Structure 1
Amino acid sequence: MRRYGSAVLLLLTGGAVLRISLFSDLYLRYVQAALRPYLVISGSLLMLLGVVAAVRGMSHREHEEEHEEEEAEDHGHSHGPRIAWLLTLPALALLLFPPPALGSYSAGREQAQLAAQGVGAFPALPAAKVLDISVAQYSSRAIYDTRHSLKGRTVRMTGFVTHGSNGTWYVTRLVVTCCAADATTSKVEIRGTESDDAPQTDTWVTVTGTWLPKGKLGTDGAWPPLLDATTVTQVKQPADPYEKR
């Protein structure tokens, strides 16, 4: 089996990469959609290298068996370090049990961070009876927009639930630039619901409501922004769980 160790590892790793990128949308838990072609190419190359390694192992089988018999006669039954096979475990785990997307634990580790653009006027929002908006966009406008473009607008946003102190809860999204490793947090505190009715942590919800002003624009007192909710609906986690910068 030592002859095929590298081949097995390459095939497992390549299969895991292709599973999450070519045959499903699981790769969106870790990187942006634009990186999918590179993952597919990488996984295909790993599979190809694995096949090549397996073929080479078979072609040298006879020679290696003779060599092992000679070594056994001279030195006893000696084998290489079998602990190297443990390297297959991470690849096998990714193939069979892909890690979930980042959630409340990752969001909870990050302190409140104010966006870098500062206070100013934002572009006008589209005309719609109910405006679909990302959590990050809502947060930026609520905290920094001197035109108060959210005033009087009914908005709808989707995110996962995180909880704070004193019964507060938030609709939260992780915002990425390239991949999950650079994720930062955007969240909106939900008002208008009883704390006993708050969804469980990491539940995905779509919330509809209106902006509640809070604090002075551009200060810590304005964060996190508030939303007066009229409806809260539980939904499935989207294929792409992250918002983009």
Structure 2
Amino acid sequence: MNRQAQAVILLLLGGAVIRASITDLYLRYVKEGLRPFLIAAGLLLVVAAIMTLWYELRPSAARTTVPATPVPGTPDPAGGVGAAHGHTHHEPRVGWLLILPVLGLLLVAPPALGSYAVSQAGSTVSAPRESDYPPLPEGDPVQVSVLDYAARALFDRGTSIGDRRVRLTGFIATGPDGEPILARMVLSCCAADGRPVKLGLTGDVPAGLPDDSWVEVVGRYTDRLGRDPVNDAEIPYLDVESWREVPVPKQQYD
């Protein structure tokens, strides 16, 4: 792979990063607040690629050449002694593998983490601690995230929820007992560190839906708890009063 091919791959990679950043595609990989950094990184890659191509494709006469220092004891092209032999270095062909992540970003964008990731990782809300949650905002039902409900249900045993009705949005996954659970992935930085928040469901449990179906549920706090077989963490439950299937949201991570 010569430098021109390297620059083209760099240009494609930078373009793919910019394309993902100006659409919602980047939300499958990183948190929303990292968008400016992705755009800046993509622009930097594109500028570096263009400068490399400009240097490689400009007329050879315009390039500054530095005469090689003769090495004593080596024959020159005219048969004399003192000139160094010229030879060409070839970069390893393995460099072409760099085009694979480019094709992945442009052609085969993977979906956001879903039910399979939930079944492989333990619930991230797992360590009880002292908590002093503020009251829920006004509204009936009040919109809360899956993470917020799980934290309130575990850390202060639902004291800050009381008998209020809550509305949560998440996707369906299969629980350890074969029953559906409500889940949402939480990111610290990017999809590589994604961890699931899991809620068991009682009452009007969504039925007949495949894994990764997104639903909006309305219900109340219940003190029922389960255990996550992956890391033995406590899983809080929600007593569902009603539910409906909803489209996949733009922001799939909490």
- Smaller-chain TM-score range? 0.7 to 0.9
Q: What amino acid maps onto 2:7 in structure 1?
A: A
Q: Which residue of 2 aligns with 1:46?
A: 45
Shift of 1:129: 1.2
- Normalised by the length of structure 1, the TM-score is 0.80
Q: Quote the Cα distance in structure 2 between the aligned partners of 1:222 and 1:214.
A: 14
Decide whether the 8 Å contact of 2:125 with 2:150 is kept in 1.
Answer: no
Higher Cα radius of gyration: 2
Q: Quote the Cα distance in structure 1 between the aligned partners of 2:7 and 2:167.
A: 50
Q: Quote the Cα distance in structure 2 between the aligned partners of 1:147 and 1:188.
A: 14
Q: Which residue of 2 aligns with 1:106?
A: 117
Alignment pair present for 1:13 and 2:24: no
Q: Quote the Cα distance in structure 1 between the aligned partners of 2:215 and 2:208.
A: 11
Q: Which residue of 2 aligns with 1:126?
A: 137
Decide whether the 8 Å contact of 1:160 with 1:171 is kept in 2.
Answer: yes
Shift of 1:193: 3.6
Q: Which residue of 2 aligns with 1:229?
A: 240
Q: Aligned runs of 1:1-245 on 2, under 5 Å?
A: 2-22=2-22, 24-59=23-58, 81-116=92-127, 118-146=129-157, 148-193=159-204, 197-215=207-225, 223-243=234-254
Shift of 1:223: 2.7
Decide whether the 8 Å contact of 1:143 with 1:222 is kept in 2.
Answer: no
Q: Which residue of 2 aligns with 1:66?
A: none
Decide whether the 8 Å contact of 2:205 with 2:240 is kept in 1.
Answer: no
Q: What amino acid maps onto 2:250 in structure 1?
A: A
Shift of 1:59: 1.7
Unpaired runs of at least 5, structure 2: 63-88
- CA RMSD, 1 decimal: 3.2
Decide whether the 8 Å contact of 1:170 with 1:190 is kept in 2.
Answer: yes
Cα 1:222–1:83 change in 2 (3 A) is closer
Stretch moving more, 32-41 or 96-105 = 96-105
- Normalised by the length of structure 2, the TM-score is 0.78
User: How many percent of aligned residue pairs carry the same amino acid?
Assistant: 38
